[in-house]
Amino acid sequence: MEICDRYDVIIAGAGAAGLNAALFLPRNKRILLVCKEGPKSADSYLAQGGICVLRWDGDHDAYFEDTMRAGHYENDPLTVEYMLRGSRETIADLMCAGVRFSRDKEGELLYTREGGHSVLRILYHDDRTGREIASRLYAQVRRLSNVHICPYTSLIDILTDGEECEGAVLRDEKTGEVKATAADYVILATGGVGGLFRFSTNYRGLTGDGVAICLKHGVQVKDVDYVQIHPTTLYTKKRGRRFLVSESVRGEGAVLLNGAGKRFTDELKPRDVVSAAIYAEMEKEGSDHVFLDLRTIPPEKVREHFPSIVRRCAQEGYDVFSVPVPVVPAQHYFMGGVKSDVDGRTGMPRLYAVGETCCNGVHGKNRLASNSLLESLIFAKRAALRIANTYQPLGENAQKRAMQGFDERDYRDERALAEEYGNLVKEEMKRSKAAREKQAEAGGNGQKEAGMQPGPAGQRAAEERNPAAE
Ligand SMILES: Cc1cc2nc3c(=O)[nH]c(=O)nc-3n(C[C@H](O)[C@H](O)[C@H](O)COP(=O)(O)OP(=O)(O)OC[C@H]3O[C@@H](n4cnc5c(N)ncnc54)[C@H](O)[C@@H]3O)c2cc1C
């Protein structure tokens, strides 16, 4: 493993959050950026729908309200405000990095909408927005001589004196070699938890490692039971990652149909509401999917805006121009995570968390579509700037102490460690859910709120939410 004994900053994760943090850290700092698999095996590359932006000041209240409503008003209003206010700068940053968004013939930016949005405020690049953003950011990071990128290298632990973070334990996924490395700061950008669920749109390698490591060291986590189910993934009996049929398809007019070819819900409600309606319909019909009909959208629009979806459906045997495609809900996004503030600071000094792995409260109970790339980028940049502005190197003693506490033998059994970490997260999900239910029973604000009591369909959705290893 070509890794030194010491770095200034170690970033675990090379999705939108990890890459943006690397871009905004000072150029005179030595940075190590590791990712568990290849650089493209990050959910950021999969984002289809787009990225939200506050288009004009007059949209502020509506955008704020849409985000809060989708999150069942459990969002942190201050964090939401930071996200809205930072959105235009973020889009400008992306454009400077070479990101291209879809435009009309006159060269004006095009906007689309998804469920839960009251107006068109989502920028997109066909149905490959995430690939466009992440690959441009990756190209920028590769140009930085102060950033050492190490793919197929996992963060498997942090070094700590029990109070502050002093470095990382890393494993080379190709050779199995384990190494401890001191660092002034560690940034967790390890993405979501989809790999812990049987059916998910996420890369299988995303197993909540950052959250598990924090749980192991008593670093505070938040809302770990808040997991989003996406209403429309392409139905298949095959194993592996579920293919997402983007919500912007419904935003452009596609409709959901039951087995009898009848509409049964408002397709533009927030994700949890639409998922629950689909589960209810499936239950009623005794079927394992419903249908999504794209024939309500002009064919030229479908070809132009959704080329990847058309192609993938064709590969599975469905011509979207002549038949509705079977769809089913699946795990999609993790609203909970490592508790962090608006600058990515966690409960442990020198340890930061950004992107899907953190919970800064922006999404509340349920994420509004196309808010996550934006959130990942904004708060990763803020974390990088916070580190830059308050930089304090580790003392010589702390560095030595950190390395002395490390014993390579503790990490030799890869399978046992993966199981231990997976179980830590799953147990915390159960604990968090039980605590919430207890609070609700005692008259707290949890699920007793109007419209939030799970019916049979909600129960089924809840069962789906329970992680089950493959
Ligand atoms: C199919 C799909 C479509 C989506 N569409 C949209 C959309 O249209 N708009 C939107 O805003 N959001 C969308 N999202 C959500 C969005 O893509 C993610 O929430 C966001 O990109 C998360 O970025 P991230 O950097 O936190 O994580 P990721 O991009 O998932 O990156 C995580 C990184 O962490 C690495 N990693 C994991 N564990 C370790 C470890 N132990 N050690 C080292 N590295 C590790 C991974 O290898 C990866 O590099 C979509 C998600 C999916 C799955």
Which atom of ligand 1 is least distant from the CA of 356?
Answer: 26
Quick: pLDDT tens for 194-209: 999 988 999 999 999 9
Which atom of ligand 1 is least distant from the CA of 374?
Answer: 11
Distance 190 CA to ligand 1 centre (A): 8
Q: Output the pLDDT for position 366.
A: 92
* 461: pLDDT strictly greater than 90: no
Quick: pLDDT tens for 21-58: 999 999 999 999 999 999 999 999 999 889 999 999 99
Tell me the C-alpha distance between 92 and 101, whole Å: 11
* 470: pLDDT strictly greater than 60: no
Q: Output the pLDDT for position 444.
A: 62
Lowest mean pLDDT among 59-68, 98-107, 419-428, 453-462: 453-462
Residue 256 forms beta bridges with which residues?
292
Distance 125 CA to ligand 1 centre (A): 17
Which helix or strand (DSSP H or E) is residue 69 part of?
helix 60-70
Nearest CA to ligand 1 atom 26: 355
* 438: pLDDT strictly greater than 90: yes
Q: Output the pLDDT for position 449.
A: 40
> What average pLDDT does the segment 235-255 reach?
90
Q: Output the pLDDT for position 445.
A: 55
Nearest CA to ligand 1 atom 14: 47
Higher pLDDT, residue 346 or 305: 346
Distance 275 CA to ligand 1 centre (A): 21
User: Cβ atoms within 10 A of the Cβ of 454, count?
Assistant: 12
Tell me the C-alpha distance between 185 and 384, whole Å: 10
User: Is the Cβ–Cβ distance between 320 and 302 less than 8 Å?
Assistant: yes
Question: In sequence order, which residues have a C-beta less than 8 Å from that of residue 302 and are 6 or more positions away?
Answer: 294, 310, 320, 321
Which atom of ligand 1 is least distant from the CA of 14?
Answer: 49
Q: Which of 190, 197, 226, 340 to mutate to test the pocket of ligand 1 (most atoms within 8 A of CB)?
A: 190
Q: Output the pLDDT for position 465.
A: 44
Match domain 229-330 to its CATH number in 3.90.1150.10, 3.90.1150.30, 3.40.1280.10, 3.90.700.10: 3.90.700.10
* 216: pLDDT strictly greater than 50: yes
Dihedral sign of CA atoms 273, 277, 283, 286 in order: negative
* 232: pLDDT strictly greater than 50: yes
User: Cβ atoms within 10 A of the Cβ of 237, count?
Assistant: 5
Distance 251 CA to ligand 1 centre (A): 23
Single-letter amino acid, residue 225: D
> What average pLDDT does the segment 90-94 reach?
98
* 275: pLDDT strictly greater than 50: yes
Q: Where are the domains of the chain?
A: 6-227+333-416, 229-330
> What average pLDDT does the segment 450-459 reach?
38
Output the average pLDDT for the chain.
Answer: 92
Give the alpha-carbon dihedral of 72, 77, 80, 82, to 10 degrees: 180
Q: Output the pLDDT for position 459.
A: 44
> What average pLDDT does the segment 217-240 reach?
94
Report DSSP letters for 86-131, one per residue.
HHHHHHHHHHHTT----B-TTSPBPEE--TT-SS--EE-STT-HHH
- What is the pLDDT confidence band of residue 114, given thresholds at 50, 70 and 90? confident
Q: Which SS3 state, helix, strand or coil, does residue 339 take? A: strand
Residue 18 forms beta bridges with which residues?
none
Distances (CA, A) of 444 to 362, 431, 435, 436, 447: 21, 17, 11, 9, 9
**Percent of the chain with pLDDT strictly greater than 70:** 94
Quick: pLDDT tens for 328-344: 999 999 999 999 999 99
Q: Buried b / exposed e across 254-265, counting CB within 10 Å, b at 16+? A: bbbbbeeeeebb
> What average pLDDT does the segment 162-172 reach?
95
User: Is the Cβ–Cβ distance between 156 and 34 less than 8 Å?
Assistant: no
- Which two three-digit tokens encode residue 94? 């992306």
User: Is the Cβ–Cβ distance between 264 and 252 less than 8 Å?
Assistant: no
* 469: pLDDT strictly greater than 60: no
CB-defined site of ligand 1, < 6 Å: 12-18, 34-37, 41-44, 46-51, 129-130, 154-155, 189-191, 201-202, 205-206, 209, 244, 333, 355-357, 370-373, 376
Tell me the C-alpha distance between 412 and 415, whole Å: 9
Lowest mean pLDDT among 24-38, 97-111, 324-338, 390-404: 390-404
Which atom of ligand 1 is least distant from the CA of 244?
Answer: 1
Query: Rounded to the nearest 5 degrees, what angle is found at the Cα of 109, between the Cα atoms of 103 and 113?
Result: 100
Q: Where are the beta strands (DSSP E) in 120-177?
A: 122-123, 147-150, 153-160, 165-172
Q: Which of 20, 32, 41, 43 to mutate to test the pocket of ligand 1 (most atoms within 8 A of CB)?
A: 43
Catalytic-labelled residue, pool 271, 312, 382, 436: 271
* 245: pLDDT strictly greater than 70: yes
pTM over 0.85: yes
* 257: pLDDT strictly greater than 80: yes
* 450: pLDDT strictly greater than 60: no
271 is catalytic: yes
Distance 191 CA to ligand 1 centre (A): 5
Distance 351 CA to ligand 1 centre (A): 20
Q: What's 403's DSSP letter?
A: H
Tell me the C-alpha distance between 322 and 289, whole Å: 19
> For 6-227+333-416, CATH number?
3.50.50.60
Tell me the C-alpha distance between 432 and 412, whole Å: 31
